[in-house]
Chain A
Amino acid sequence: MSDALEVLNQVGKWKEAGKGVAVATVITTWGSSPRPVGSQLGVDDSGAMVGSVSGGCIEGAVVKEALDAIKDGKPRLLDFGVTDEQAWDVGLACGGKVQVFVEKVG
């Protein structure tokens, strides 16, 4: 759980340095998914990351959405999974599904 603190602390440092920052949080999982509900990924406006929301499978797509959220300030709810109808171009190798909430900090 205190990897959550690592994320919060880094996000705090980025904010202090005047950067745009977003936080992504795993809010639902189905089947086998690599990171539990509550896991977080912090992203700054250069695309730097802290923490994780998967084993590396979906971070690329989440960072892209996070950068958009930093720009437009709107929160996003993302679904990832092999059977996902929204046809994300990334799936989870383990066959699980995760739902990730992305929001701007600040």
Chain B
Amino acid sequence: MQASTLAALQAARTARKPIVLATRLGDAAETLVYPDKAEGAQAGDATLVAAARRALGTGKSETIDVGADKVFLNVYVPPPRLVIVGAVHIAQTLAPMATMLEFDVTVVDPRGAWATAARFPGVKVIKEWADEAFQEMGLDVSTAVVTLTHDPKLDDPALESALKSDAFYIGALGSRKTHAKRKERLAAVGITDEMFARVHGPVGLNIGAKSPAEIAVSILGQIVEVRARRLESLAAPKVAA
């Protein structure tokens, strides 16, 4: 691997941009394929570039035949992101655990006493209303959102905004009763039952979690499961019509 290739892979990751490194196994010649351009030894090879673009879509690394050569396509996709609404006690255990699971974690809370860097070492903390913060960061299909404040004036706008995004997971802390009331309030702002069904609430897997750390495990267990099922369904061969 060339030093310049290493730098390009690191730069793509920092910018959260997907990239494929195609390595010809015979001589280790390298080609970098981006969604919109290709650079390197075989950048002009239409077969290779097309296969790499397909791999960008599925996220699956594989070896392909290009003419007489074996070429390995290594897909580097940006890691999933977790946005935690509410810089509360549970968030303080959820954030480091999610970081360990290789999520890019962002904590959002407009309340200055909660949203401090000191409470969340090494995690991005945004002191803003969630719906405003979401607009700036853009919730894509690799993003999970969890609301933890219990406070309708903070959680509701966050959920409303998340439900209008492509986020692959949306969860809301609160009892069944709280969740039912939440559904009624959001219905009043145009969130249909069908849309609301995307919200996991009460949030997390039912493992009898009580402490903040246990609740964090239950939430992350559910997020990992939902993400894995989604990726499995993307990777599965399409049934012929």
| Interface residues, chain A, with chain B CB atoms under 8 Å away | 1-5, 8-9, 11-12, 15, 23, 25, 27-28, 36-38, 75, 77, 101, 103-106
Contacts and interface: CB of A to CB of B under 8 A. Distances in A.
A37 B13 CA distance: 19
A106 B3 contact: yes
Contact of B79 (A1, A12, A103): A1
Given A2-B102, A8-B6, A27-B72, A38 B13 contact: no
A102 B60 CA distance: 20
Nearest to B77: A1
Interface in B1-21: 1-3, 6-7, 9-10, 13
Contacts of A37: 60-62
Given A8-B10, A11-B6, A77-B25, A25 B79 contact: no
A contact face: mostly helix, strand, loop, or mixed: mixed
B161 interface: no
Given A8-B6, A8-B10, A25-B72, A1 B102 contact: yes
A101 B75 CA distance: 15
Nearest to A27: B72
Contacts of B72: 25, 27, 101
Nearest to B26: A75
B6 A75 contact: no
A36 B1 CA distance: 20
Contact of A101 (B2, B7, B25, B59): B25
Contact of B76 (A1, A75, A106): A1
Contact of B6 (A15, A27, A77, A101): A15
A8 B13 contact: yes
B135 interface: no
A103 B2 CA distance: 10
Q: Which of B59, B77, B102 has the most CB of A within 10 A?
A: B102
Given A3-B102, A27-B25, A77-B25, A8 B9 contact: yes
